[in-house]
Amino acid sequence: MPLVAAAAVATHDVLQRRHSLLRNFPVIGHGRYLVEKIGPELRQYIVAGNDEERPFSRDQRRWVYASAKLENNYFGFGTDNDIEHTTAYPIVKHATFGRVAPPSDPHAGHEAWVPCAKVLGGARGRAAAFRPDSVVNISGMSFGSLSGNAVAALNRGAALAGCLQNTGEGGLSVHHRHGGEIVFQIGTAYFGCRDDQGRFDLARLKDVVAAAPVRALEVKLSQGAKPGLGGMLPGAKVSAEIAAARGVPEGKDCISPSRHAEFDDADSLLDWVELLAAETGLPVGIKSAVGDIGFWRDLADLMAGTGRGVDYVNIDGGEGGTGAAPLIFADSVSLPFRAGFSRVYAVFAERGIQDDVVFVGAGKLGLPDNAIVAFALGCDLISVGREAMLAIGCIQAQKCHTDHCPTGVATQNRWLSRGLDPTLKSVRVANYIKTLRRDLLKVSEACGVEHPALLDADTVEFLDAGSACTTLRSRYGYQPGWRQPSPETREAIVTLMGRTAPRGGSALPSPTATG
Ligand SMILES: Cc1cc2nc3c(=O)[nH]c(=O)nc-3n(C[C@H](O)[C@H](O)[C@H](O)COP(=O)(O)O)c2cc1C
Ligand code: SF4
């Protein structure tokens, strides 16, 4: 009898589509859901607390999972963060009589439209300049590090959420063609835009751009988890689909060099960026982790002095994710997001050119508190990588580098990736992105402004172990006027948000009201 019951459960698990883990691990997978359910009670007594796990704590993961499923993502009884004893704990300062009245209904505005405050490519008049529709977008994660089904889920999710999906450096595959708009990333191996000898091929790039909804190009200089390193996808993993997307031979080791062949300093980088923009009409950005600041000074000096320039700068924090990296690089090489981003922003602001560049950030910014700090530091857009993976089923098993990902997100194993249903998970990632956008808008409204880009460097203070408070401005040395959009940008975004801003905030005033 128990065997019959187990067989029935197994059949149900394999056939259902909601839970990748149960599809891949019928019957035994239920253990994980049971532990998740009774986890809070168990941990209260014997294991770790809600905020102890890394890279994403249990509370953070719970918030992403619940938001992705449109379940109740509130937390009861008050914070369990140790605010009194934590250093650099960010506090967002709300406004008592702000300009904007937040709506009274907590669920109002779930479909909040929160576009970028700046026009990408507008400052340099690129032919295909545009205003990104969403301040939250999906970060570059290549097909190869992610399964085809995961890439497809993210692409469909991007279409549903009205945001952009960055291809990562693995080229543009069939899985990227489900309606979501694309940022095409160009890495050191020029995957997807290279000739047979691995050299950059402009004609191929133009073909790729013409055949898909590519809205921008991103030149990848480095990523936070493994800056300055190349990489290798072993031949065993180079399937026909991966080979086609990358433009490499099937079944052979696929190498990414550590450096680009097309440029070797800030000056030649800018020449190349201008060439790409002129030939494709698209805005062109760069993605990089932050180490030596000299490169950024050179870049900003050249931009201020010559009129050449990148349309956006995407700063990845050292705490960022990867499919695989040596421990020392993941742990210790390159600055974490807040330190790295603020240094780069300062370099541009000191030269007065911060309004000509769209600033993008990544590095655990897919959580509302981190995202708010990023906007207060000067971000115009944020990219989410691992949080989007959580939304499509990742359980933080941290086996991405082994090809044994149990939820089918980061593997090329056919059985495991089959467990991930791209249609269902696309809705989850779209729900998560919409919820994050809505929370960013709600916090902005609570602070009295219409849009997260209007939060300034005085909005956030850092609390050190419950005693001293330091404003973000003084902690990162921001000068007065920095992190204030130009009057034109401010007016444009206030007008845009005014068209859709939810109404409400109070009941009708009484006859004796004085306000
Ligand atoms: C599985 C995986 C693959 C990634 N692949 C790329 C890539 O191809 N190109 C890139 O620039 N960054 C890549 N990244 C880094 C992410 O785009 C992102 O910058 C980083 O994870 C920080 O964002 P997060 O904290 O929201 O994950 C990858 C990250 C992960 C987890
Ligand atoms: S191996 Fe683990 S951490 Fe990596 S994607 Fe899969 S579930 Fe997530």
User: Over the stretch 401-456, which tens digit does the pLDDT of each residue have?
Assistant: 999 999 999 999 999 999 999 999 999 999 999 999 999 999 999 999 999 999 99
Supply the residue whose CA is at minimum distance from atom 29 of ligand 1. 322
Q: Which ligand is nearest to the CA of 141?
A: 1
Percent of the chain with pLDDT over 90: 73
State which of 21, 139, 399 you would mutate to test the pocket of ligand 2, scoring each by most atoms of that ligand within 8 A of its C-beta.
Answer: 399
Q: pLDDT of 245-297, one tens digit each?
A: 999 999 999 999 999 999 999 999 999 999 999 999 999 999 999 999 999 99
Instruction: Determine the pLDDT at residue 83.
Output: 87
Judged against a pLDDT cut of 90, whether residue 167 lies above it is answered with yes
Atom from ligand 1 closest to the CA of residue 366: 26
Q: Do 18 and 407 touch, CB atoms closer than 8 A? A: no
CA atoms within 13 A on the CB side of 215: 20
In this structure, the number of other CB atoms found within 10 A of the CB of residue 77 comes to 5
- pLDDT bin (cut points 50, 70, 90) of residue 233 is confident
Q: Check pocket membership of 50 for ligand 2, CB cut-off 6 A.
A: no
Instruction: Determine the pLDDT at residue 189.
Output: 97
Strand stretches in 6-147, DSSP E: 89-92, 136-138
Phi/psi region, residue 172 (left: phi>0; alpha: psi -120 to 50; beta: rest), is beta
380/378 Cα distance (integer angstroms): 6
CA of 432 to the centre of ligand 1 (A): 18
Judged against a pLDDT cut of 80, whether residue 503 lies above it is answered with no
284/493 Cα distance (integer angstroms): 22
Q: Which ligand is nearest to the CA of 390?
A: 2
Predicted TM-score (pTM) above 0.85: yes
Judged against a pLDDT cut of 90, whether residue 240 lies above it is answered with yes
Q: Check pocket membership of 134 for ligand 1, CB cut-off 6 A.
A: no
Closest to 98 (Cα-Cα) out of 483, 429, 436, 455: 455
Q: Which ligand is nearest to the CA of 165?
A: 1
Judged against a pLDDT cut of 80, whether residue 501 lies above it is answered with no
Atom from ligand 1 closest to the CA of residue 323: 1
Atom from ligand 2 closest to the CA of residue 397: 2
Q: Do 335 and 315 touch, CB atoms closer than 8 A? A: no
Q: Check pocket membership of 121 for ligand 1, CB cut-off 6 A.
A: no
